[in-house]
Structure 1
C-alpha cells in the first residue's frame, strides 16, 4: 500500500481492563486488555454459560415473562417459553436453595437497581414489574469479537480462536442510555460512565451501534489494541501489509479511546 495513509476520522470513549492484574473479593480476576493486531470475526449477542451464567446465559432481548412469580424466557423470540431455571439451574441449585419466587424477587431487585432514575422506596421495589425482554446480560445488546491472525490470511483457522477480550456494552450503561433516549425535554440526561472491564473493551451503547452501522467495525477488518503506555493518538498512520478493508479501529487503553482510521 505504497503512498496510502490511514487518517483519523472518529474517536469514541472506551474502557479496557486494569493496567495490572487484579484479584477481586468476588472471586474474579481482572486483567489488562491484550495488545496486538487482531481481525474481527463475529458481531453478535454474547452468551456466557460458564463464568457469568447468572444473567448472561440468556441472550439480550430474549422474551421475558413473570407468571405467578415464576420466570419464563423465550430465548429465540419464537414463542417457545421455558422456565429460566431450566436453562440456568444454578439459580435453584447454587443460590441457597432458592425457590422460583426467590428467583423472581432477585430479578426484580436487579431491575430496580438498573432503573434510571430509580425510585428508592421499598414499596416500589417490591411491586416493580419486570420488563418484557431480558435486559440483564453482562455483555449488553451486541458484542464485537476478534481473533489473533497468526498466519495473516484474514480467516480464523488452524490454532486461531476468538479472544476472551472483545468489545461490548454493559447493562448499567444500556439502562442509562435507554432512559436518556426516552426522557422528556424537562428531564436532565444522565452521564454514560464506562466502567473498567475484566479485560474486554467497554463502549457506550449508541457508539457501538454507530461504529457497526457505519462499517467501522466489520467482519474481516482489523482492530489494533495499543499498549497502555501509548499516550498520543496519531492523526495519521501508515497501514502495514496486513491491513484489510477501508477502516481500522485502534484502541488506546491508556487514553480510554477507540479511534477509527480511514484508508486514503
Structure 2
C-alpha cells in the first residue's frame, strides 16, 4: 500500500476532454483516458497533417520571400508554407492564399488578446501582419506524451516480450493552447497577470503555459515520471489517500472531474 500526500501550492487548473465520451480512434472528442502512465517524451509536437497550424513547430522562424510568400525555417532549411502537409492540398497552387490564411489566423489571435488585455495595440512586432516566430501550433511550445508501462521498467520499449502488450505513446497528452501561449507572452511583455479559460480538449489535457514550462524546468514533467489520471467521478482534489499502486517519490495527478492537476508525495506504508 502507498500513501499519497498533496504538496501544498501545487494545485493548478487543467482541463481534459468531455465526460462520458469513451475513447474511439478517429473520434473528434473523447474523454481523457484514466489510469497510471509513465511519461515517454517531452518536447515540441508537430502534426503530420490533421492539424494544419501544427505541422510547424512552435517558435520556428517566419519570413516572406521575394514574391511575398510565407516561408518557415524547419528541419534545418527554409520551406514554403504552401508546400507543407495539410497546406499543399489547398494552397499548392495558391501560395498567396496560404499567406492570407495565416494572416487571418493571426488577426483572430491579436483580436482576442487585445480584448483580454483591454489594449488598442499589442507591443512591438506583435502588431505586425505576421509575427517573426510561429506561434500557431495548436499544442503550444512543448507537449508531454505518455504510455502504459506494461512491464514496469519505466521505459518505452520498442518491442514487446512474448505474452506482453506493446508499449505505445497514447494519443492523449499534456499540452497548452495557442491562445493561452500568446497571453503568457503578452503577460511577460506587458508585465501583467491575465488569465483565460483553458477550454475543453479533444481528449488531451490542457495546462497553463507558465505551469507547464515551470514544471519542465524543475524536472517534474520529465521522461520516466509517473502520471496518474483519475476518473471523472472524482470532483475534488483530495489532500491525501492510500492506493495499492504507487511509486515512491513524487507523482503528477490529473483530476478531469475537478479540472485540476497537482503533485503528490508518495511513500510506501
Does the alignment reach a TM-score above 0.5? yes
Q: Tell me the distance in 2 between the aligned counterparts of 1:45 and 1:140.
A: 8
Residue in 1 that maps onto 2:175: 168
Any stretches of 5+ residues in structure 1 without a counterpart?
122-126
Of 208-217 and 249-258, more deviation after overlay is shown by 208-217
Q: Tell me the distance in 1 between the aligned counterparts of 2:93 and 2:264.
A: 50
Question: What pairs with 1:2-21 in structure 2 (closer than 5 Å)?
Answer: 5-9=3-7, 10-21=10-21
Any stretches of 5+ residues in structure 2 without a counterpart?
122-126, 161-165
Question: What pairs with 1:169-184 in structure 2 (closer than 5 Å)?
Answer: 169-183=176-190
Q: Does 1:249 align with 2:252?
A: yes
Residue in 2 that maps onto 1:109: 104
Q: Tell me the distance in 1 between the aligned counterparts of 2:98 and 2:227.
A: 40
Q: Of 63, 66, 72, which residue of structure 2 is paired with 1:65? A: 63
Task: Quote how far apart the aligned CAs of 1:92 are.
Answer: 3.9
Q: Tell me the distance in 2 between the aligned counterparts of 1:92 and 1:221.
A: 38
3-state DSSP of counterpart to 1:14: strand
Question: What pairs with 1:1-264 in structure 2 (closer than 5 Å)?
Answer: 5-9=3-7, 10-21=10-21, 29-52=28-51, 54-67=52-65, 68-76=67-75, 78=76, 80-88=77-85, 90-94=86-90, 99-115=94-110, 116-117=113-114, 128-157=128-157, 158=160, 159-183=166-190, 189-238=193-242, 240-243=244-247, 246-263=249-266
Task: Quote how far apart the aligned CAs of 1:232 are.
Answer: 2.9
Q: Tell me the distance in 2 between the aligned counterparts of 1:233 and 1:211.
A: 19
Query: 1:152–1:242: 8 Å Cα contact kept in structure 2?
Result: no
Q: Tell me the distance in 1 between the aligned counterparts of 2:29 and 2:120.
A: 31
Query: 2:82–2:94: 8 Å Cα contact kept in structure 1?
Result: no
Query: 1:226–1:252: 8 Å Cα contact kept in structure 2?
Result: yes
Query: 1:38–1:222: 8 Å Cα contact kept in structure 2?
Result: yes
